[in-house]
Structure 1
Amino acid sequence: MLCALIMAGGKGERFWPLSTEEKPKQFLKLLGEKTMIQMTVNRLKDLIPIERIFVVTGERYTSLVKEQLPKLPEKNIIVEPIGKNTAPCITLSAFKIEKQYKDATIAVLPSDHLIRNEEEFRNVIAAADSFIEENQDSIVTLGMKPDRPETGYGYIKTDKTNSIVKGLKVKSVEMFVEKPDIEKAEEYLKNGNFLWNGGMFVWKAKNILRLTEKYIKNTYDILKEIACSVEEEYMDKLKNNYALVDSVSIDYAIMEKVKDIYVIPSEFGWDDVGTWYSVERYRDKDENNNVCVGNIININSKNNIVVGKNKPVIISGLEDIFVVESDDVILIGKKDDIKDIKEIKGLYS
């Protein structure tokens, strides 16, 4: 029984000032007429029915999830009282999903990524599901074939091809690699055995619970007690005890330690939409290579990113700058400084 778990708890600080702690990037329309989380759910619906799609998010975002995903069953919104990184929220969700669907396979997916070839994406998820049904103690991750020496992503080093499932190669994972410098990234691109790590995993719920018990038993024990509580006591136990779990990523806690892990090399037009540069890559541009969102008037300006909100924005004689308007702030800078937005936000705060 294939289910999806969409992780929707991130802050999206690199999209400030539009993305805020009250409404982070997964709830914004960064690339079109739908929000990032709506795009994520829509691309799954031809493979996984809405009743088997789950969203794990922070308590403060539950109303946004309900508003933007009105067809999602309320019981499928899994609440994390405070952010404790990905391992606890995935484990909490695995307990909940297994309770509803015995022998569930879970596809764990971020809520804020772009997938351009959605049919191919579903083919890859279906192949991973088939592999897991035959290899229930295994983990499958999705690795994107790199087309540039990217320093902003982690990498997966692959080993030999182990099998072909639904026409797709399934390779052994040799190791996970942290974000490299430019020299290493160029080396990985030439090598051919490295894939971008998109943070997407497919596994049996019972397997990830087994591995959590093995590698982070404190977290497992706390969450098992919460999961086994009667419905009337669940929320109180969750709020009182969740702070005691280990704050650790699933990559560090489990992925880097297990041996029975595989990757499907994937080509479905993936981007993690990590900065305003991503919006520049995928939004339509005018004849002067400007990305304009909102009521924007360009006069003799080119190669700019301008995101307006309420008022007309006029730029004249400017080149290679970005402008982002929110309800509270207008941020203007050189496009070269987009990488520093998180630090700029810290100075403003």
Structure 2
Amino acid sequence: MTIDSEQHDPTARDRVAGPGLDRFYGVIPAGGVGTRLWPLSRAAAPKFLHDLTGSGQTLIRATYDRLAPLAGDRMMVVTGEAHQDAVWAQLPDLDRTDMVLEPEPKDSAAAIGLAAAILYRRDPETIMGSFAADQVIGPVEVFQAAVVEAVATAATGRIVTIGITPTHPATGFGYIRQGQALDVAGAPNAKDVAAFVEKPSEDVAREYVDSGEYLWNAGMFVAPVSLLLQHLQANEPELHAGLTEIATAWGSARQDEVMARVWPTLKKTAIDYAVAEPAAAAGDVAVIPGHFTWDDVGDFAAIARLNPARDSSGITVIGETPRVYSSKASGVVVTDTQRVIALIGVEDIVVVDTPDALLVTTTEHAQSVKQAVESLKAHGDHDVL
């Protein structure tokens, strides 16, 4: 397979070959606040709208560019109404009819299900691929090769997930147990999914990694929209009915009225529970192992990991106007102020400096930032959330 380096060019679609790609539509769910990245990530500016890798690209732009050579201009984004202008600014080539705006967050089953329902009404033969807007992936060519295999497998009538080859016994991710190899033209690495497994303890996670049979569940799904909707209807009939009603009105004069009336009534549930797990039990799910690096940038420890210190200071600094002094210190500083930050004799420190909020913690306790956000919310400090 040949991937053109101009990944932002929608015409690059014609330069990638693979069974089913002529039916492929890329879908980017862009939701979630990323509370563990507060105060950088907030309701009005979630993590997918930030450059967290120093690449010069926001996470959603990087996601779009990874998919463009495969999907061309057949791309859809599902995001919150509050983020419409910011997403337009990041993705000016996105067709206006392919921006799906949620009045309020409803979790992944509603977001991905609505995209599938809209695409089904346009063309019931569509194969959609859902890839979250806030993940860091590389090398891009290895990811794209896995997607090509996933599309080829989906074209045989399967829901396909791309599982990540684990690098350590992570306890924060769900796992996928691989089953028998499948005989799929264009997808030599395709396997049956034996089971989806919830987040394990560290000892169990180590057993999973050592066995070589398990992959991390990164929430990447490629599927014929008809099959995805079939399983959604079987397992969440009320959710399916509501999404179908919205999709039926999509593009008409009734679109806004139906969305405003139906969306608030929809059940909040994850696509894993509503579709993937029951479909796997029915033997309808396959997996493609992804041999690329993957990070969901879940906290500031991840940012430190993705952005190693560039010099002997030991401090990773992210920001357009950083003024940081350090001595015998290590860690990460994220700043968008002019304030001078001096770090002396501290290890694995995390400092996030914004005009109205300051976070100081350590990489070890980075996951606990979410608790601070919950406390601020409970005390009514919504102005900084």
TM-score (norm 1): 0.95
CA contact (8 A) 2:108 2:271 kept: yes
**1:41 offset after TM fit, Å?**
0.4
296-305 or 228-237, larger mean C-alpha shift? 296-305
Deviation digits for residues 115-170 of structure 1 (CA, Å, limit 9, x no counterpart): 1110111111111111222x12x111001111111111110011121235536411
Whether the aligned pair in 2 keeps the contact of 1:124 and 1:168 (CA below 8 Å) is no
2:354 match:
326
- Select the residue among 249, 255, 258 that pairs with 2:270: 249
CA distance in 1, matches of 2:98, 2:352: 34
CA separation in 1, counterparts of 2:260 and 2:187? 46
1:175 aligns with 2:195: yes
1: CA distance, partners of 2:134 / 2:328: 30
Letter of the 1:130 partner, please give it.
A
Check whether the contact 1:302–1:319 (CA below 8 A) recurs between aligned residues: yes
The equivalent position to 2:143 in structure 1, one of 121, 126, 129, is 121
Return the alpha-carbon distance in structure 1 between the equivalents of residues 257 and 184 of structure 2.
47
Deviations 1:161-217 (CA, angstroms, capped at 9, x unpaired): 123553641111111111111111111111111100000010011111122121111
| 1:86-105 alignment runs, 5 A limit | 86-105=108-127
SS of the aligned residue for 2:336 comes to: coil
**1:231-269 CA deviation, whole Å, 9 max, x = no partner?**
101111111111222211111112111121110111111
Q: Secondary structure at the match of 1:43?
A: helix
Q: Tell me by how many angstroms 1:314 deviates.
A: 2.4
2:284 corresponds to: 260
Match among 45, 49, 71 for residue 23 of structure 1: 45
| Cross-structure match for 2:86 | 64
Q: Distance in 2 between matches of 1:298 and 1:317?
A: 11
Name the amino acid aligned to 1:276. F
Distance 1:9 1:101 in 2: 25
How far has the Cα of 1:102 moved from its partner? Answer: 4.2
State which of 35, 51, 54 in structure 2 corresponds to 1:13.
35
In structure 1, which of residues 217, 228, 248 is the aligned counterpart of residue 248 of structure 2? 228
Q: 1:279 aligns with which of 294, 303, 307?
A: 303
Residue type of the alignment partner of 2:70: L
| Residue 364 (structure 2) aligns with | 336
Give SS of 2:104's match: coil
The alpha-carbon deviation at position 219 of structure 1 amounts to 1.2
Paired position in structure 1 for 2:59: 36
1:297 aligns with 2:324: yes
Deviates further, 98-107 or 216-225: 98-107
CA distance in 2, matches of 1:203, 1:252: 16
The match for 2:336 among 309, 315, 333 is 309
Structure 1 counterpart of 2:230, from 206, 210, 214 = 210
User: How many pairs are equivalent?
Assistant: 346
Match of residue 162 from structure 2: 142
> What secondary structure, in the 3-state scheme, does the structure 2 residue paired with 1:46 have?
helix
| C-alpha distance in structure 2 between counterparts of 1:263 and 1:20, whole Å | 33
Amino acid aligned to 1:279: I
Cα distance in 2, alignment partners of residues 88 and 37 from structure 1: 20
Secondary structure in 1 matching 2:278: coil
Q: Is the 8 A contact 2:180 2:191 kept in 1?
A: yes
**AA at the equivalent of 1:27:** L
1:206 and 1:110 map into 2 onto residues whose CA distance is: 21
Offset, 1:310: 1.4
Which residue matches 1:193? 213
Q: State the alpha-carbon separation in 2 of the partners of residues 80 and 168 from structure 1.
A: 38
2:5 maps to which residue? none
Judging changes above 3 Å, is the alpha-carbon distance between structure 1 residues 288 and 164 closer, same or farther for their aligned structure 2 residues?
farther
Distance 1:167 1:207 in 2: 19
Percent identity of equivalent pairs: 31
Q: Tell me, which stretches of 5 or more residues in structure 1 are unaligned?
A: none
Residues 94-103 or 30-39, more deviating: 94-103
Deviations, residues 303-339 of structure 1 (Å, cap 9, x unaligned):
2111111113222232221100123101112322211
CA distance in 2 between partners of 1:222 and 1:164 (Å): 35
TM-score (structure 2 length as normaliser): 0.86
Which stretch of structure 1 is more off in the superposition, 167-176 or 114-123?
Answer: 167-176
- What amino acid does structure 2 have at the position aligned with 1:245? L
Q: Matches of 1:60 and 1:174 in 2, distance apart?
A: 39
How well do the aligned residues superpose, as a CA RMSD in angstroms? 1.5
2:17 maps to what in 1? none
The worse-fitting range, judged by mean Cα deviation, of 24-33 and 294-303 is 294-303
